[in-house]
Amino acid sequence: MMRKPAVASGAGRRARRRRVRRGLAQGGAAVLLLAVLAPVLWLVLMSFRPSGATLAATLAFTPTLANYRALAGGGFPASFANSLMASTGSTVLSLLIGVPAAYALARHRFRARGRIAMWILVTRMAPPVAFTIPFFLVFSDLGLIDTVPGLIIVYLTFNLALVIWTMRGFFASIPASLEEAAWIDGAGVWSTFRRIALPLAAPGVAATGILCFIMSWNDFFFALILTRTNAMTAPVAIVNFMQYAGWEWGKIAAAGVLVLLPVLAFTFFVRSYLVSGGMAGGLKE
Amino acid sequence: MRGTIRRRQVLAAGTTAAGLLALPGKAPAAGGAKPLSGVTLNISCWSAPYPLLLAKYIPEFEAETGARVIYTTPSFPIYNQRMGLALATKSDAYDVVNVTFIFIGQWVGAGWVMPLDPFIADPARTPASWDAKDFFPGTTTAFRNAQGQLCAIPWIADVMMGGASRYDLIRKAGLGLPDTFAEMPKMLAAVNGKDGVPGFLTENHYGWTFPGYLQGFGGNIFRNPPHDLMPVLDTPAAVEAAGFFSDLLRKYAPRGALSYTYDEVVAALKSGKVNYATENEAFVTQMAQPGSTVTETCGFSLFPAGPAGRFPQVATHGWGIPAGSRNKDAAWQFITWAMSQKLLLRMFREHGWSSVTRRSIVELPEFRSKLTFNGFDVAKMYLDTVELAAKGYMAYRTVPPYPQVDRQIDIAIQGIVSGEKTAQQAMAAAQRNSIAQLRRAGVKL
Amino acid sequence: MAAGSTAWSIEQRRAFTVGLVPALVVLAVVTLGPAIYLVVTSLTPLTPIHPGSGLDFSTPFANYRQALFTGSFDHSVWLQCELSAITVGLQTLLGVAVALLLNSESGFMRAVRTGFLVPMVLPPIVVAIIWKILYTPDVSPVYAMLGAFGLRPGALITSPVWALPAIALADTWEWFPFTMLMVLAALQMMPNEPIEAARIDGASAWQMFWYVRLPFIRPALMVAVLFRLIDSIKAFPLIYVLTNGGPGQVTEVTNYYAFIQTFNFAYWGYGAAIATLMVAGVFALSLLLARLGAVAPDDA
């Protein structure tokens, strides 16, 4: 019951110091997090301020939904729907085309494997402006300007690469032994894929799909140039709205909050995957 | 497809023959189907006060004609970018478009908006009472192409004038609104910061707000537009003007003045957050309209004169029909409705829209009296300025490569106000770069 | 690899190829196609105002000469280097520092880690709006707080000296979590022995970091820096909303310069040349970084 003297108290002191240090670290981390998130919280606060109230002055005000209600009319809800359709469509298409390709790259040593990876990396290097002129001209001829299918196709430029890159990492991290056993038993490559590999990689597919959705949802540049009214997405609608609304910050803030909500929600679902640093896929190589 | 268009054209022509749609308010022909039912018109303009106001009346047009109107009003830079792209590819995405002043040279010159003379001359499409000659010649000349055909109907004579949101503070200092550049620093120094209100502001499109000062000091953009397009931005007069103008912004403008776009300036004026501005009439007169908090304390004046004279800038924007539109007759119906005397008069009476291009309206006594705010006769200032512009000093603005030079002026003034360059350096750079840009655009200097 | 007869290997390879080909075809169409078009267009003075200019190959390198020897392209590249250096540098420093702070197994720290995801996943346009609010004196809570202490600093985004750093600051806020997460993941994968050994040897915290942890996380750090560098070239919404390339041209970095030339002045051929130069430049930079010891992105 009595602690041993001398050695024990030394250890106790060290343990206490470590506890204090840990407490400080946690406190510091919490403060830092609050500081980093403060701008976002301020945006949310602003969206509930009644218009006309002095903007930066006080923290106390009576919250109101007026700004959000003002967004209901006009083209904002439609732009939301467009964002939803373009993002979902692009995600589904990219997964359909990209996941099998990623599996093939993971399981078979193609000679061109290195070159394909290099090609994917180079496409990531190109600024959006490099793609927009050719896409604009081709879409004009094909009548795809200002359409949601047009956006879905354009988003393939980054989503397909993302799917192939990350899913290859996922498949590579699954040991091939189960599949090899199935192959020895005479099963075909793709039936094995369907029955064994895909279910095992399902969490990865879900996470990658959500990443594609987020990247499509967040796109600004392509939508700015390639859409006008029918297919305008939410990010472009805010900018349009900003200059139209005579700088009514309450409404702008409300629009911003609405546009970021889906992304935050989805991020919540893939948080562990993102946090584990698997996003770039570079570590797994 | 072609058959449908012809049928629609006949239908449209037949209805306008009755002249019903040129005068909104009259009941459509009894028992007939609406003339434009099934037609969708895509109409776009930048977010100026007039197009925003017109949006309130469009449901009437739709109800009368049965047409469906998709009406978009993006901000100025986005509108011009989008429209430039759409017109360049001869797209059929739009039926009625705004022909922006600084792009007239490009858009009209390249034939991207079609000549409207055939429509005007055709009595089946345009009743005589619509009176195409009623528009100020100063505004229609800008929209004539090389063959002299009219390619847009002007909806605004955008004149520059002086406006103050807190004329009471100016009077308290014992001064009036400045009539010359020389009076400006004195007045601004006296009122700057009084009641927490900075003295001066203009929108950061300096390619538009600066030339009035430039010409007032005896300078110009080009040597002799439209023939001699050699820029003259680095003459001593130009440098002096740039220094003077930038000084006003540096000393008397609110923080972050360089980032104020036109709509932010309007918002600031209407809420009394800044005192004096030299800006478009359509912008400053909003101080006197409902929705402003300074209706009692606003004041107006002509654009100040410089040593070389008074050169208030006048722009005009107009409604045009793109060459690729598939609803040209319906589009023309919209234009005749929107620019009819009756509708413009209603817009003036119901909402105070005053930058009107029809002489018949501007000369009405009620126009005069309704545009008198706090004792200031804005109608007279408007008319006087429109007359001044007829002298032709605005010719620089419609040459096709002007947008590039416009940007150089933006850059120069920003550089001087922010202290990055002296007036001499900034204007010399603007001169160099403008020459390079013009040469690249194929202009022989 | 699967054992089996040669015939079966061939069949297997065919099956894999079938899975790969559709993706390659689509990738080729949406990336190679535009790339070829871009390079070809960069050799013409294409502008929609002059029909037929897209086929004018008389002076194929005029655009490149224009970019490299006249005009504002060089200025924009210099600005881009400045911006990238500041923002990637800050992101790295801040990312590593925060990663070290959060390097712990406790549930609390794991939750805090998740919170740091937010700036990174927000739509960039919303980030731009948030920072526009923070940087506009009339509406910013920061300026209001400073004003309460009697301080009235000028607006950063209209100052020729501070506009670019202001953009870098916003960009750092947005992206440091990326670096932080990658470094953190590497830190957590570190084996315990070197750390324990160093602790027994009495290493200070700084020595622990510099001699023990840093060498281990260096590969991950280089990958993070590489990706951030590539992405910093594409910065657009921040500049579009905050400064429009101004005041003057002090924030007209190369990507924004290309945008203005292409879409405000309709110089499509010239814009294509700028874009080509950009991709070439970034590619060369990446090769350089790879040689300096970054993890190669493939198994070459």
Walk along chain A (285 residues) and give the pLDDT tens digit of each residue: 455 555 556 677 878 887 888 888 888 889 999 999 999 999 998 888 877 654 555 666 778 888 888 888 777 889 999 999 999 999 999 999 999 999 998 888 888 788 888 888 788 788 888 888 889 888 888 889 889 999 999 999 889 988 998 888 888 888 888 888 888 888 888 888 888 888 888 888 888 898 899 989 999 999 988 988 888 899 988 887 766 545 678 888 898 999 999 988 888 887 777 766 555 443 332
Q: Would you say residue A87 lies in a domain?
A: yes
Q: Would you say residue A54 lies in a domain?
A: no
Q: Contact at 8 Å (CB) between C109 and A29?
A: yes
Interatomic CA distance for residues B379 and B285, integer angstroms? 11
Q: Would you say residue A37 lies in a domain?
A: yes
Q: Which helix (H) or strand (E) holds C12?
A: helix C6-27
**Facing residue for C263 by CB, picked from B81, B400, B417:** B81
The verdict on A42 and A156 lying in the same domain is no
Q: Which residues contact C266 (CB under 8 A, 6 or more apart)?
A: B84, B88, C47, C48, C49
CB contact (8 A) between residue C49 and residue B403: no
Q: Would you say residue A57 lies in a domain?
A: no
Q: Contact at 8 Å (CB) between C285 and C199?
A: no
Is residue B232 pLDDT above 80, yes or no? yes
Q: Which domain holds residue A202?
A: 66-282
pLDDT category at B27 given cuts 50, 70, 90 is very low
The verdict on A184 and A74 lying in the same domain is yes
Chain C closest-CA separation from residue A181 CA (Å): 9
The verdict on A128 and A241 lying in the same domain is yes
Q: What percent of chain B has pLDDT over 90?
A: 53
| pLDDT on residue B398 | 76
The verdict on A127 and A192 lying in the same domain is yes
Least confident of B264-268, B333-337, B356-360, C68-72: C68-72
CB contact (8 A) between residue A247 and residue B86: no
- Confirm or reject contact between B49 and chain C (CB < 8 A): no
Q: Would you say residue A55 lies in a domain?
A: no
Q: Contact at 8 Å (CB) between C255 and A220?
A: no
**Facing residue for A247 by CB, picked from B42, B93, B263:** B263
Of C272, C253, C293, C256, the closest CA to residue C75 belongs to: C253
Q: Would you say residue A140 lies in a domain?
A: yes
The verdict on A39 and A84 lying in the same domain is no
- Confirm or reject contact between C117 and chain A (CB < 8 A): yes
C296: number of Cβ within 10 Å: 15
Question: Tokens in use for B269?
Answer: 């004026």
Note the pTM of the prediction, 2 decimals: 0.82
The verdict on A137 and A191 lying in the same domain is yes
Is residue B160 pLDDT above 90, yes or no? yes
Please list the ranges in chain C whose pLDDT falls under 70: 1-5, 71, 293-300
The verdict on A190 and A222 lying in the same domain is yes
Provide CATH code, domain C65-299.
1.10.3720.10
Chain C closest-CA separation from residue A67 CA (Å): 16
Q: Would you say residue A53 lies in a domain?
A: no
Is residue B283 pLDDT above 70, yes or no? yes
Mutate to test the interface with A, among C8, C12, C21, C30 (most CBs of A within 10 A): C30
The verdict on A28 and A107 lying in the same domain is no
Residues of chain B positioned with their CB less than 8 A from the CB of C46:
none
The verdict on A29 and A89 lying in the same domain is no
| pLDDT on residue A94 | 95
Of B108, B112, B45, B54, the closest CA to residue B80 belongs to: B45
Residues of chain C positioned with their CB less than 8 A from the CB of B273:
138
Interatomic CA distance for residues A242 and B264, integer angstroms? 10
How do B376-377 and B372-373 pair as beta strands? antiparallel
Interatomic CA distance for residues B420 and B413, integer angstroms? 10
pLDDT category at B8 given cuts 50, 70, 90 is very low
Q: What is the rounded average pLDDT for all residues in chain B?
A: 87
| pLDDT on residue B3 | 38
Q: Would you say residue A59 lies in a domain?
A: no
Q: Which chains have at least 3 CB atom pairs separated by less than 8 Å from chain A? A: B, C
Q: Tell me which DSSP letter residue C99 carries.
A: H
What is the dihedral sign for C-alpha B23, B29, B34, B36? negative
Report the number of distinct structural domains present in chain A.
Answer: 2
| pLDDT on residue A247 | 64
Interatomic CA distance for residues B408 and C174, integer angstroms? 32
Q: Which helix (H) or strand (E) holds A66?
A: helix A66-72
Question: What residue spans define the domains of chain C?
Answer: 65-299
The verdict on A105 and A243 lying in the same domain is yes
The verdict on A148 and A186 lying in the same domain is yes
- Confirm or reject contact between C111 and chain A (CB < 8 A): no
How do B314-320 and B376-377 pair as beta strands? unpaired
Q: Contact at 8 Å (CB) between B96 and A145?
A: no
| pLDDT on residue B417 | 93
